[in-house]
Structure 1
Amino acid sequence: MTHEVIGDLSNGGKVMGLLFEISYIFLWVFVIILSIFVLKLLRKEETAQSMPGSGHPNAPDFDIKNNGLPIFSPFPDLQLKAITDIDTSSKKKYELSVVLLSSTSCMPCKNMYSLLPDIANKWSDVQFISYIWGYSETDVSQVVQEHQLKPPVYILDEQGIETLNNRVYPFAYALSKEGVILAKGVVGSEESMKQLIDHAYTQSRKPSA
C-alpha cells in the first residue's frame, strides 16, 4: 500500500512538473507574440511619421516652419507634366488657389481624393490644383479617373518634391492671386481644408504693411 501511495505521488509530481513546463512554454510564447505585436505598433507609428500621409489631418498647423515652403513666399513654378487638360481662361475668377500635394501610396490621401470633388463644389471661388506623386504616370491617371478629380492635375516628380521640401502628405498651400503662400498645413478632412481656406482669406484681407 505504501509503495502504491509513493508511486501515485511520484506520478503526480511528474504530471505537475510537466504541466509547469507546458505553462512556462505557453507563457514565453505569449510574451514573444506580445513583443512582436508591440514592435509592429511602434514601427507603424514610426513609419507614419515619415511616410506620406502622416501628421494630424484634423488639426492642420498653419505655422509649420520645418515643413515645406515658408508663409508669404512665392510658390515656385515647377513646370510639372499635366495629367489633365487645363482651362487657362478660368484662372481670373478665382480669389484663391489651393495646391494639394499628395501621393498615390498615401492612405489619408485617398480619403482626401474622395472628398475633393465636393470640396471644390462648395468653394467655387477657389481653384484646386492637385500635385500627385506616383510610381508612374499610370498610377496618377488611375487616381484621377477613380476619384473624378477635376483639372488641373500635375504629376509631382522628384525635383518638385525636393524644391517644395515637403515630407508630410496630404499637404496643401493656399495661394493669393499673385501666387504668394498665405497658408499651409496638413489637410486630411473637409474641416481641415476649410480651416486652411478661412485662414488664407483672413491673411489676404490684412492691409499691406
Structure 2
Amino acid sequence: MKKTLDSLKTLFVSSRAKGSSNTALTEGKLPRGGNDGDFLPLFKGRDQMGRKVRSETFPGRITKLIFLSDSCASCIEVLKRLDHSPRNKHCLVIKGDPEPYSNADLEDISYDFPIFRSTKVVAMFGIQRVPTIVTVSAEGRIERVDELTDPGQLEDCLEPSSPVWPRRNQGLPVGSMFPDALSRAGHAQEGAGEGAVVLFLSVDCLSCLDIFSKIHLLVEKWTDMRIVLYIQGEEVKVKMLMEENRISLPFFLYDPGLRGTFRTLVFPYLYVLSAEGRILSRGSLKDAEELDIWLAMAVEQGGREHD
C-alpha cells in the first residue's frame, strides 16, 4: 500500500513536446491546449494504482477525459455511474491534487478505471467547471469539450462517436410543431407563431455565459429576428445574469419538468421556427460567434418563407 501511495506523489508533468517516432502527436510544432481542435497537452504520471499514464499513448486507446472534483456532488455521482458503465475502459478520470490531510486519493483505489491527479494538468486544459468531458480523436486532437449539467447524461457522453448532440436523441424533430403552450410553466409560448429563434441556456455553462455576455449586441444586430430564451438555473441567478448583461428578451425558466416536453438536455441549444411555429432547423452551439451565424441563417430562412 505504501508503494502505491508514494507513487501518487511522484507525478511529473511536462507541457513541452518530446520527440518520438511512434506517434503523430510529437511531429512538428503542434497547437496544444484544451480547446476544440487542439492537440492534447503532453503530460505523464501514474494513476491511483501506480500504473503509468502518458498522454502520448492516448490516441486510439483513451477517448474520454473526465474532469471531476472531490467536493462536487455531481462528480461523485458521475464516478458511481462510471463504475458500472461498460464504456469506462476507454476513459481517464482527471482530478486536482487532494487537499492537505485529505484521504480522498485513498478512495480512488476502490475504482478499476484509471484516476489521475494533477492540478497542473487540470489547468493545462483550462477546466473551470466540473464535471467536464473532453473527447479525444484517434489523432490525439480534442474533438469536443462538454460540461455535464446532469450526471444522467453520462452514458450518452461516453458513446464512441464524437458527441455531436443534434445527431442524437436530443431535441424535437425538424419539421414538427414547436410546443405553443407550456402548462407546466404556466406561460403561453411567445414568438412561436411569429417565427422565432428559441435558445436554451444554463447559468452553469461556460459557452452559455459567453452568449449571455454578448447576446444584447446580437439583438441590436438582428433587429428583425425574434429571440426567446429558456434558461436553466435558480431564478435569482437567472434574473441577475439578465440584468448584468442588459438582456431584455422574453425568457422562461427551464425546470426539469420541461425536459420531457423539449427533450433538450445539453446547452446551449437552439431552434429556428417558421411563422407557423414549425421547427425549420435546430442544433447545439459553442459560443456567441456561432449563435451569430445561426441568426444569419434564421433571417435568410425567414426571408425565403415570405418570397
Classify the TM-score, shorter chain.
0.5 to 0.7
Measured after TM superposition, the shift of residue 187 of structure 1 is 2.0
What letter matches 1:177 in structure 2?
A: A
Distance 2:198 2:176 in 1: 14
The aligned runs of 1:171-186 (5 Å cut-off) are 171-186=269-284
TM-score normalized by structure 2? 0.46
Q: Which has the higher helix share?
A: 1
Identity of aligned residues (%): 26
The correspondence for 1:44, drawn from 112, 125, 132, is 132
1:102, distance to aligned residue in structure 2 (A): 0.9
Deviations 1:85-123 (A, max 9, x none): xxx8xx69x974111101111121111101110011111
- Residue 161 of structure 1 and its aligned partner are, at CA, apart by 1.9
Q: How does 1:99-114 map to 2 (within 5 A)?
A: 99-114=198-213
Offset at residue 167 of structure 1 (A)? 2.0
Question: Is 1:156 the equivalent of 2:210?
Answer: no
Structure with more strand by fraction: 2
Match for 1:40: what amino acid? I
Q: 1:129 aligns with which of 222, 225, 228?
A: 228
Q: Which has the higher contact order (CA 8 A, sep 6+)?
A: 1
TM-score, normalised relative to structure 1: 0.64
Kept after mapping to 2: 8 A contact 1:103/1:169? yes
Q: RMSD of the TM alignment (CA)?
A: 3.9
What code does the residue aligned with 1:29 have? K
Matches within 5 A, 1:30-109: 30-31=10-11, 34-35=45-46, 39-40=93-94, 44-45=132-133, 49=146, 51-52=148-149, 64-76=167-179, 77-79=181-183, 80=185, 96-109=195-208
Deviations 1:122-171 (A, max 9, x none): 1101011111111x321221121121211201111222122111121011
Q: 1:200 Cα deviation (Å)?
A: 3.6
Deviation for aligned residue 1:198: 3.9
Relative to 1, partners in 2 of residues 1:124 and 1:70: Cα closer, same or farther, differing over 3 Å? same
Contact 1:95–1:125 (Cα < 8 Å) also in 2: no
Checking the alignment, whether the CA contact within 8 Å between 1:95 and 1:126 is kept in structure 2 is no
Q: 1:81–1:154: 8 Å Cα contact kept in structure 2?
A: no
Q: From the superposition, tell whether residues 180 and 103 of structure 1 become closer, same or farther in structure 2 (CA, over 3 Å).
A: same
Q: Is the 8 A contact 1:130 1:152 kept in 2?
A: yes
Name stretches of at least 5 consecutive residues in structure 2 with no aligned partner: 14-44, 48-66, 68-91, 96-114, 116-130, 136-144, 158-163
Q: Distance in 1 between matches of 2:165 and 2:195?
A: 16
Report the secondary structure of 1:139's partner residue.
Answer: helix
Contact 1:97-1:129 within 8 A present in 2 as well: yes
What letter matches 1:45 in structure 2?
A: I
Q: Deviations over 1:36-64 (max 9, x none)?
A: 69631787326954624999xxxxx7953
- Asked if structure 2 preserves the Cα contact closer than 8 Å seen for 1:96 and 1:125, the reply is no
**Residues of 2 paired with 1:203 and 1:35: CA distance?**
53
Give the Å deviation of 1:26: 7.5
Residues 96 and 115 of structure 1: CA distance in aligned 2, closer, same or farther (over 3 Å): farther
What corresponds to 2:216 in structure 1? 117
Residue type matched to 1:178 in 2?
Answer: E
* Total equivalences in the alignment: 170
Change (3 A) 1:190 1:108: closer
